Protein backbone atom coordinates (compact mmCIF):
# COMPACT_ATOMS: atom_id res chain seq x y z
CA UNK A 1 0.00 0.00 0.00
CA UNK A 2 2.82 2.39 0.84
CA UNK A 3 4.94 1.31 -2.12
CA UNK A 4 7.05 4.10 -3.57
CA UNK A 5 8.28 3.87 -7.14
CA UNK A 6 11.84 4.84 -7.88
CA UNK A 7 12.17 7.53 -10.52
CA UNK A 8 15.41 7.65 -12.44
CA UNK A 9 16.88 10.83 -13.83
CA UNK A 10 17.71 9.79 -17.34
CA UNK A 11 20.38 12.38 -18.00
CA UNK A 12 22.65 11.30 -15.14
CA UNK A 13 21.25 7.91 -14.21
CA UNK A 14 20.99 8.84 -10.55
CA UNK A 15 18.04 7.96 -8.39
CA UNK A 16 16.05 11.08 -7.75
CA UNK A 17 12.61 11.74 -6.32
CA UNK A 18 10.27 8.91 -5.46
CA UNK A 19 6.63 8.81 -6.52
CA UNK A 20 4.27 8.02 -3.67
CA UNK A 21 1.98 5.36 -5.07
CA UNK A 22 -0.97 6.09 -2.79
CA UNK A 23 -1.05 9.70 -4.02
CA UNK A 24 -0.70 8.65 -7.65
CA UNK A 25 -3.56 6.19 -7.26
CA UNK A 26 -5.73 8.92 -5.74
CA UNK A 27 -4.89 11.34 -8.55
CA UNK A 28 -5.46 8.64 -11.15
CA UNK A 29 -9.02 8.10 -9.97
CA UNK A 30 -9.93 11.77 -9.46
CA UNK A 31 -8.22 13.39 -12.43
CA UNK A 32 -9.14 10.69 -14.91
CA UNK A 33 -12.76 11.53 -14.07
CA UNK A 34 -12.28 15.32 -14.07
CA UNK A 35 -9.88 15.79 -17.01
CA UNK A 36 -10.77 12.84 -19.22
CA UNK A 37 -8.31 12.17 -22.03
CA UNK A 38 -6.15 15.15 -21.02
CA UNK A 39 -5.05 13.35 -17.84
CA UNK A 40 -2.71 10.92 -19.62
CA UNK A 41 -0.39 13.63 -20.95
CA UNK A 42 -0.58 15.59 -17.69
CA UNK A 43 0.25 12.46 -15.71
CA UNK A 44 3.27 11.80 -17.92
CA UNK A 45 4.71 15.22 -17.04
CA UNK A 46 3.85 15.21 -13.33
CA UNK A 47 5.53 11.82 -12.85
CA UNK A 48 8.64 12.78 -14.87
CA UNK A 49 10.56 15.46 -12.95
CA UNK A 50 13.44 15.26 -15.43
CA UNK A 51 11.22 17.02 -17.99
CA UNK A 52 10.16 19.86 -15.66
CA UNK A 53 11.17 23.38 -16.63
CA UNK A 54 11.94 26.66 -14.90
CA UNK A 55 11.36 30.17 -16.17
CA UNK A 56 13.80 32.97 -15.39
CA UNK A 57 12.16 36.16 -14.08
CA UNK A 58 14.64 39.05 -14.28
CA UNK A 59 14.85 41.47 -11.36
CA UNK A 60 14.41 45.02 -12.62
CA UNK A 61 16.00 46.37 -9.43
CA UNK A 62 19.35 44.70 -10.12
CA UNK A 63 21.44 45.44 -13.19
CA UNK A 64 22.61 42.23 -14.86
CA UNK A 65 24.72 43.02 -17.95
CA UNK A 66 25.03 40.06 -20.26
CA UNK A 67 22.33 38.01 -18.58
CA UNK A 68 19.76 38.31 -21.36
CA UNK A 69 22.31 37.49 -24.06
CA UNK A 70 23.46 34.50 -22.00
CA UNK A 71 19.87 33.29 -21.73
CA UNK A 72 19.40 33.68 -25.49
CA UNK A 73 22.54 31.65 -26.16
CA UNK A 74 21.10 28.85 -24.03
CA UNK A 75 17.85 28.75 -25.98
CA UNK A 76 15.70 30.96 -23.76
CA UNK A 77 13.23 33.43 -25.26
CA UNK A 78 10.96 36.19 -23.85
CA UNK A 79 7.87 34.54 -22.43
CA UNK A 80 5.02 36.98 -22.88
CA UNK A 81 4.16 38.58 -26.23
CA UNK A 82 3.06 42.16 -26.69
CA UNK A 83 -0.33 40.84 -27.87
CA UNK A 84 -1.38 40.34 -24.27
CA UNK A 85 -3.95 42.84 -22.98
CA UNK A 86 -1.65 43.78 -20.10
CA UNK A 87 2.08 43.15 -19.85
CA UNK A 88 4.16 45.85 -18.13
CA UNK A 89 7.34 46.69 -20.01
CA UNK A 90 9.36 46.17 -16.84
CA UNK A 91 8.29 42.52 -16.55
CA UNK A 92 10.95 40.41 -18.26
CA UNK A 93 10.68 36.66 -18.11
CA UNK A 94 12.48 34.04 -20.19
CA UNK A 95 11.46 30.47 -20.90
CA UNK A 96 12.86 27.54 -22.84
CA UNK A 97 11.15 24.53 -24.40
CA UNK A 98 14.00 22.30 -23.19
CA UNK A 99 13.84 20.79 -19.70
CA UNK A 100 16.41 21.83 -17.15
CA UNK A 101 17.14 24.48 -14.61
CA UNK A 102 19.12 27.69 -14.92
CA UNK A 103 21.65 28.01 -12.04
CA UNK A 104 20.02 29.38 -8.90
CA UNK A 105 21.48 32.23 -6.88
CA UNK A 106 22.04 31.99 -3.13
CA UNK A 107 20.62 34.46 -0.67
CA UNK A 108 23.27 36.97 0.43
CA UNK A 109 22.20 39.60 2.98
CA UNK A 110 22.56 43.09 1.55
CA UNK A 111 22.90 41.91 -2.03
CA UNK A 112 20.07 41.70 -4.56
CA UNK A 113 19.58 38.67 -6.76
CA UNK A 114 19.50 39.17 -10.53
CA UNK A 115 16.69 36.72 -11.27
CA UNK A 116 14.06 34.42 -9.76
CA UNK A 117 13.47 30.85 -10.95
CA UNK A 118 9.82 29.84 -11.07
CA UNK A 119 7.12 27.93 -12.88
CA UNK A 120 6.13 30.31 -15.69
CA UNK A 121 2.43 29.66 -15.03
CA UNK A 122 2.91 31.33 -11.63
CA UNK A 123 3.02 34.67 -13.41
CA UNK A 124 -0.48 34.34 -14.83
CA UNK A 125 -2.25 35.30 -11.55
CA UNK A 126 0.01 38.36 -11.36
CA UNK A 127 -0.77 39.40 -14.94
CA UNK A 128 -4.48 38.83 -14.34
CA UNK A 129 -4.36 41.12 -11.28
CA UNK A 130 -3.22 44.08 -13.47
CA UNK A 131 -1.65 46.07 -10.64
CA UNK A 132 -1.16 49.77 -11.41
CA UNK A 133 1.21 52.27 -9.81
CA UNK A 134 -0.15 53.73 -6.58
CA UNK A 135 -2.75 51.04 -5.87
CA UNK A 136 -3.19 49.36 -2.52
CA UNK A 137 -2.39 45.67 -2.93
CA UNK A 138 -2.78 42.67 -0.61
CA UNK A 139 -1.03 39.35 -1.23
CA UNK A 140 -3.07 37.31 1.24
CA UNK A 141 -1.03 34.06 1.24
CA UNK A 142 2.30 35.40 0.04
CA UNK A 143 5.02 32.85 0.89
CA UNK A 144 7.43 31.91 -0.52
CA UNK A 145 7.21 35.31 -2.24
CA UNK A 146 7.57 34.69 -5.96
CA UNK A 147 4.28 36.34 -6.86
CA UNK A 148 5.00 39.26 -4.51
CA UNK A 149 8.31 39.81 -6.31
CA UNK A 150 6.55 39.54 -9.68
CA UNK A 151 3.93 42.13 -8.66
CA UNK A 152 6.75 44.55 -7.85
CA UNK A 153 8.29 43.90 -11.27
CA UNK A 154 5.00 45.10 -12.78
CA UNK A 155 4.22 48.24 -10.76
CA UNK A 156 4.94 50.37 -7.69
CA UNK A 157 1.92 49.93 -5.37
CA UNK A 158 1.04 52.82 -3.10
CA UNK A 159 1.18 50.30 -0.30
CA UNK A 160 1.80 46.56 -0.53
CA UNK A 161 0.73 44.15 2.20
CA UNK A 162 2.31 40.69 2.06
CA UNK A 163 0.76 38.27 4.53
CA UNK A 164 1.75 34.75 5.51
CA UNK A 165 0.20 33.00 8.48
CA UNK A 166 2.76 30.19 8.84
CA UNK A 167 5.80 31.30 10.85
CA UNK A 168 8.45 29.36 8.91
CA UNK A 169 7.02 30.36 5.54
CA UNK A 170 6.78 33.97 6.72
CA UNK A 171 10.53 34.02 7.35
CA UNK A 172 11.03 32.57 3.88
CA UNK A 173 8.86 35.35 2.46
CA UNK A 174 10.88 38.04 4.26
CA UNK A 175 14.13 36.58 2.91
CA UNK A 176 12.74 36.53 -0.63
CA UNK A 177 11.71 40.18 -0.44
CA UNK A 178 15.11 41.11 1.00
CA UNK A 179 16.80 39.26 -1.88
CA UNK A 180 14.95 41.07 -4.66
CA UNK A 181 13.67 44.44 -3.48
CA UNK A 182 15.88 47.48 -2.69
CA UNK A 183 15.59 49.34 0.60
CA UNK A 184 13.57 52.40 -0.54
CA UNK A 185 10.83 50.17 -1.94
CA UNK A 186 10.91 47.75 0.98
CA UNK A 187 9.68 50.63 3.15
CA UNK A 188 6.38 50.49 1.22
CA UNK A 189 5.92 46.79 1.99
CA UNK A 190 4.20 45.48 5.10
CA UNK A 191 4.87 41.84 5.98
CA UNK A 192 2.45 40.30 8.47
CA UNK A 193 1.66 36.88 9.96
CA UNK A 194 -2.09 37.32 10.33
CA UNK A 195 -4.73 34.66 9.82
CA UNK A 196 -5.84 35.48 6.27
CA UNK A 197 -9.43 34.64 7.16
CA UNK A 198 -9.50 37.64 9.52
CA UNK A 199 -7.87 40.35 7.38
CA UNK A 200 -11.17 41.31 5.74
CA UNK A 201 -12.64 42.15 9.14
CA UNK A 202 -9.44 43.86 10.32
CA UNK A 203 -9.06 46.02 7.19
CA UNK A 204 -12.43 46.23 5.44
CA UNK A 205 -12.55 47.81 1.98
CA UNK A 206 -8.92 48.87 2.21
CA UNK A 207 -7.35 47.44 -0.96
CA UNK A 208 -7.71 47.99 -4.70
CA UNK A 209 -6.33 44.56 -5.60
CA UNK A 210 -6.10 41.29 -3.66
CA UNK A 211 -4.25 38.14 -4.66
CA UNK A 212 -5.39 34.91 -3.00
CA UNK A 213 -2.79 32.32 -3.96
CA UNK A 214 -4.44 29.84 -1.67
CA UNK A 215 -3.02 26.90 0.26
CA UNK A 216 -3.92 23.87 -1.84
CA UNK A 217 -3.14 20.23 -2.52
CA UNK A 218 0.02 20.97 -4.49
CA UNK A 219 -0.05 18.19 -7.06
CA UNK A 220 3.67 18.24 -7.90
CA UNK A 221 4.96 18.11 -4.34
CA UNK A 222 2.27 15.72 -3.08
CA UNK A 223 3.20 13.17 -5.76
CA UNK A 224 6.70 13.05 -4.32
CA UNK A 225 5.79 12.96 -0.63
CA UNK A 226 8.83 11.63 1.23
CA UNK A 227 6.66 10.24 4.03
CA UNK A 228 3.89 7.96 2.70
CA UNK A 229 2.00 8.09 6.01
CA UNK A 230 1.98 11.90 5.85
CA UNK A 231 0.72 11.61 2.29
CA UNK A 232 -2.20 9.46 3.42
CA UNK A 233 -3.05 12.02 6.10
CA UNK A 234 -2.91 14.82 3.53
CA UNK A 235 -5.31 12.97 1.26
CA UNK A 236 -7.71 12.42 4.17
CA UNK A 237 -7.63 16.14 4.98
CA UNK A 238 -7.91 17.24 1.37
CA UNK A 239 -11.65 17.84 1.53
CA UNK A 240 -11.13 20.45 4.25
CA UNK A 241 -8.98 22.65 1.99
CA UNK A 242 -11.90 23.90 -0.09
CA UNK A 243 -13.61 25.32 3.00
CA UNK A 244 -10.40 27.13 4.04
CA UNK A 245 -10.06 28.50 0.50
CA UNK A 246 -13.65 29.73 0.57
CA UNK A 247 -13.06 31.46 3.91
CA UNK A 248 -9.93 33.16 2.54
CA UNK A 249 -11.91 34.36 -0.48
CA UNK A 250 -14.68 35.75 1.72
CA UNK A 251 -12.04 37.64 3.69
CA UNK A 252 -10.50 38.95 0.46
CA UNK A 253 -13.87 40.25 -0.73
CA UNK A 254 -14.35 42.12 2.55
CA UNK A 255 -10.86 43.62 2.24
CA UNK A 256 -11.57 44.92 -1.28
CA UNK A 257 -12.86 48.39 -2.04
CA UNK A 258 -15.95 48.49 -4.26
CA UNK A 259 -14.65 48.41 -7.82
CA UNK A 260 -11.58 46.47 -6.76
CA UNK A 261 -10.55 43.10 -8.18
CA UNK A 262 -9.27 39.90 -6.71
CA UNK A 263 -7.47 36.99 -8.34
CA UNK A 264 -7.68 33.49 -6.91
CA UNK A 265 -5.06 30.89 -7.81
CA UNK A 266 -3.93 27.41 -6.87
CA UNK A 267 -1.34 24.93 -8.14
CA UNK A 268 -3.71 21.97 -8.18
CA UNK A 269 -5.88 20.37 -10.84
CA UNK A 270 -8.62 19.63 -8.31
CA UNK A 271 -12.02 20.93 -9.36
CA UNK A 272 -13.15 20.99 -5.71
CA UNK A 273 -10.41 23.52 -4.90
CA UNK A 274 -10.80 25.53 -8.10
CA UNK A 275 -14.07 26.04 -9.98
CA UNK A 276 -16.22 24.71 -7.15
CA UNK A 277 -14.78 27.22 -4.66
CA UNK A 278 -15.24 30.13 -7.07
CA UNK A 279 -18.80 29.06 -7.92
CA UNK A 280 -19.65 28.83 -4.23
CA UNK A 281 -18.35 32.37 -3.67
CA UNK A 282 -20.25 33.77 -6.66
CA UNK A 283 -23.44 32.08 -5.47
CA UNK A 284 -23.08 33.39 -1.91
CA UNK A 285 -21.78 36.94 -2.55
CA UNK A 286 -24.18 39.09 -4.56
CA UNK A 287 -21.65 41.96 -4.71
CA UNK A 288 -19.03 39.94 -6.62
CA UNK A 289 -19.03 39.35 -10.37
CA UNK A 290 -16.71 37.36 -12.65
CA UNK A 291 -14.16 39.15 -14.86
CA UNK A 292 -13.35 37.81 -18.33
CA UNK A 293 -9.69 36.70 -18.65
CA UNK A 294 -10.11 34.71 -21.87
CA UNK A 295 -8.17 37.40 -23.75
CA UNK A 296 -5.16 36.80 -21.54
CA UNK A 297 -5.45 33.07 -22.11
CA UNK A 298 -5.50 33.54 -25.87
CA UNK A 299 -2.52 35.88 -25.66
CA UNK A 300 -0.33 33.26 -23.96
CA UNK A 301 -1.64 30.20 -25.78
CA UNK A 302 1.76 29.71 -27.45
CA UNK A 303 3.37 29.26 -24.03
CA UNK A 304 0.70 27.31 -22.15
CA UNK A 305 -1.79 24.51 -22.60
CA UNK A 306 -5.21 25.15 -21.08
CA UNK A 307 -8.05 22.84 -20.13
CA UNK A 308 -10.90 23.38 -22.56
CA UNK A 309 -14.41 24.09 -21.39
CA UNK A 310 -13.61 26.45 -18.51
CA UNK A 311 -15.61 29.64 -18.04
CA UNK A 312 -14.39 33.03 -19.28
CA UNK A 313 -13.34 34.21 -15.82
CA UNK A 314 -11.07 31.21 -15.18
CA UNK A 315 -8.30 29.14 -16.72
CA UNK A 316 -6.41 25.97 -15.82
CA UNK A 317 -2.88 25.41 -17.11
CA UNK A 318 -2.18 21.74 -17.93
CA UNK A 319 1.46 20.59 -17.99
CA UNK A 320 2.64 18.89 -21.16
CA UNK A 321 6.09 17.94 -22.41
CA UNK A 322 7.88 20.94 -23.91
CA UNK A 323 5.48 23.20 -22.00
CA UNK A 324 5.69 21.64 -18.57
CA UNK A 325 4.12 24.62 -16.81
CA UNK A 326 1.44 24.27 -14.19
CA UNK A 327 -0.82 23.00 -12.84
CA UNK A 328 -2.08 26.54 -12.26
CA UNK A 329 -5.68 27.60 -11.81
CA UNK A 330 -6.55 31.30 -12.10
CA UNK A 331 -9.89 33.06 -11.63
CA UNK A 332 -10.65 36.79 -11.53
CA UNK A 333 -13.53 38.51 -9.74
CA UNK A 334 -14.65 42.11 -9.15
CA UNK A 335 -16.40 43.63 -6.14
CA UNK A 336 -19.17 45.87 -7.38
CA UNK A 337 -20.60 47.20 -4.12
CA UNK A 338 -20.19 47.15 -0.35
CA UNK A 339 -23.02 44.70 0.24
To the query of whether residue 154 is one of the catalytic residues in this protein, the response is no
Bridge partners (DSSP) listed for residue 159: 136
Contact by Cβ (8 Å): 121, 325: yes
> Known binder of ligand: residue 303?
no
Q: Does 71 fall in a domain?
A: no
What pTM was estimated for this model as a whole?
A: 0.93
> Known binder of ligand: residue 167?
no
> Known binder of ligand: residue 62?
no
Q: Does 302 fall in a domain?
A: yes
- Total structural domains within the chain: 1
Q: Does 194 fall in a domain?
A: yes
Which residues span the domain enclosing 330? Answer: 21-53+120-335
Q: Does 78 fall in a domain?
A: no
From residue 223, how far is each of 5, 26, 302 by CA, in Å? 11, 10, 27
> Known binder of ligand: residue 213?
yes
Hey, is 5 helix, strand or coil?
strand
- In the set 93, 162, 267, 285, the catalytic residue is 267
Q: Does 115 fall in a domain?
A: no
Q: What is the pLDDT along the chain (339 residues), one digit of tens a residue?
A: 233 333 333 334 333 578 999 999 999 999 999 999 999 999 999 999 999 989 999 999 998 889 999 999 999 999 987 667 778 888 999 999 888 778 889 888 889 999 999 999 999 999 999 999 999 999 999 999 999 999 999 999 999 999 999 999 999 999 999 999 998 888 889 999 999 999 999 999 999 999 999 999 999 999 998 788 888 999 999 989 999 999 999 999 999 999 999 999 999 999 999 999 999 999 999 999 999 999 999 989 989 999 999 999 999 999 998 899 999 999 999 999 986
Number of C-beta neighbours around residue 98 at 10 A:
11
Q: Does 82 fall in a domain?
A: no
Q: Does 249 fall in a domain?
A: yes
Of residues 106, 212, 129, 209, the one with CA closest to residue 164: 212
Q: Does 130 fall in a domain?
A: yes
The CATH code of the domain that includes 294 is 3.40.50.150
Amino acid sequence: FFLCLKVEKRTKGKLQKQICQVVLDHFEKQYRAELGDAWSSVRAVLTSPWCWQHAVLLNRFCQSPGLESSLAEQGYHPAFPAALPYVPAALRCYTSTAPGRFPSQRHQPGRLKEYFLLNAASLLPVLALEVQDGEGVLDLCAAPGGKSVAILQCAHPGHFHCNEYDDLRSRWLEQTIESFIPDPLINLITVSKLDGRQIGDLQPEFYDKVLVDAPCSNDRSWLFSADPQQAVLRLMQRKELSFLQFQLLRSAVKALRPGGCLVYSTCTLSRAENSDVINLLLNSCSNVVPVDISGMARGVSQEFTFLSGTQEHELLVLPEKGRAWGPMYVAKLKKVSST
